[in-house]
Amino acid sequence: MTETVPAVRPARPHFSSGPCAKRPGWNAAALDTSSLGRSHRAKIGKAKLKLAIDLTREILQVPADYRIGIVPASDTGAVEMALWSLLGARPVDMLAWESFGEGWVTDVVKQLKLADARVIKAGYGELPDLAQVDTKTRDVVFTWNGTTSGVRVPDADWIAADREGLMICDATSAAFAQRLDWPKLDVVTFSWQKVLGGEGAHGILILSPRAVARLESYTPAWPLPKIFRMTKGGKIVEGIFQGETINTPSMLCVEDYIDALEWAKSLGGLDALVARADANAKAIADWVAKTPWVANLAKVEATQSNTSVCLSIVDPDVVAKGPEAVAAVAKGLAATLDKLDVAYDIGAYRDAPPGLRIWCGATVDTADVAALTHWLDWAFAQEKAKLA
């Protein structure tokens, strides 16, 4: 801890976990606006949407036989399209260890009312016992990286290669910063406002051939809203996965996404993006290792996120004053650094335990993360002194 105001500020104080920091050097003037004011059904619009899909495939190394579509309503829309369209054909295991996973449980148990849904949970900072999950015979819905808990699955080794059901994965804070095991996944969703820092409101839905086969062979018992419908006459609507979106997209947001994808490609693609996120998370981890007042919320190192890094205040003097004191220090620290334009939006998610959440995805610079740690020490000292 230090009582001295740090000399170096983060050059970019954007540490929000969504929408996330724009890429280094981003400038709205650099965006190609030739498609704006034109129909997304026009040749230029469809070409732009197809380019976004093709670059997504290239950067994420998505298999050639997986379909990629741009869909409405961010990652939430993409996940719910999958849940409403695919579930009900067989029993399902629902995994939840943070708020978004809990949201998918609510969809399946309370909205779709699937009686054969089995919920497997863990508290914030932990993963459920993956050995309990039936990846052989049941469908499975899970988040790869828990955005609000900072806990991720360490790998996909727990998923059966000869599975009969579908693996439906919300990867919104993992894609472009963590390696996804494509042969083990049947549905993958994300929103480009996360790791690539794009503008929001659009989701990406990626389907394996097995997921497509389910869509073409199974009709849910419930009605599907128009924006969820991916088949017609028992066949997949291929246009969705060629740039013919279900509803009107923002072409400005699409241009922004293309800009981020081209930046990622210029760096060296997925390897470079993962390396940047890993370096950012390491800067936090190294600081945590020598800082007695803070700890990673994720209890097991192998499950600690390299994007949405969640931290707990564990200073014994503060903890001894009770949960309200811990919450007050965390809130005050985040508010102080926001007011000083040092770090924006680093408070824990509203449903998570009181603490901090620092985005370390690929669009953040490691030098800014390192500079932030000194300010965290300084701000904590200020807030702790208020409790005396």
DSSP 18-61: SS-PPPTT--GGGS--TTTTS-TTSHHHHHHHHHHHHHHHHHHT
Closest CA to 317 of 347, 286, 293, 338: 293
pTM of the model: 0.97
Q: Give span(s): CATH 3.40.640.10, the chain.
A: 28-266
DSSP 74-132: HHHHHHHHHHHHHTTSS-EEEEESSHHHHHHHHIIIIIS--TTEEEEE--TT----GGG
Say how far apart CA 311 and CA 376 lie, in whole Å: 11
Whole-Å CA distances, 90 to 3, 154, 166, 217, 342: 59, 27, 9, 13, 50
Closest CA to 202 of 316, 68, 377: 68
Say how far apart CA 133 and CA 142 lie, in whole Å: 11
| 142: helix, strand or coil | strand
Q: Give span(s): CATH 3.90.1150.10, the chain.
A: 269-387
| 268: helix, strand or coil | coil
Phi and psi dihedrals of 327, rounded to 5?
-65, -40
Walk along the chain (388 residues) and give the pLDDT tens digit of each residue. Answer: 557 999 999 999 999 999 999 999 999 999 999 999 999 999 999 999 999 999 999 999 999 999 999 999 999 999 999 999 999 999 999 999 999 999 999 999 999 999 999 999 999 999 999 999 999 999 999 999 999 999 999 999 999 999 999 999 999 999 999 999 999 999 999 999 999 999 999 999 999 999 999 999 999 999 999 999 999 999 999 999 999 999 999 999 999 999 999 999 999 999 999 999 999 999 999 999 999 999 999 999 999 999 999 999 999 999 999 999 999 999 999 999 999 999 999 999 999 999 999 999 999 999 999 999 999 999 999 999 999 8
Task: Give 342's strand partners.
Answer: none
Q: Which CATH number fits domain 269-387: 3.30.1130.10, 3.40.50.2300, 3.40.190.10, 3.90.1150.10?
A: 3.90.1150.10
Look at residue 2 in the predicted model and tell me its pLDDT.
56
Report DSSP state, residue 159: S
Locate 113 and state its tokens.
């009312």
Locate 274 and state its tokens.
């993962």
Say how far apart CA 266 and CA 195 lie, in whole Å: 16
Centroid of chain to Cα 113: 26
28-266: CATH number: 3.40.640.10
Q: What share of the chain is helix, strand, coil (3-state, %, to 5)?
A: 40, 15, 45
Asked whether 167 and 159 are in contact (CB, 8 A), the reply is yes
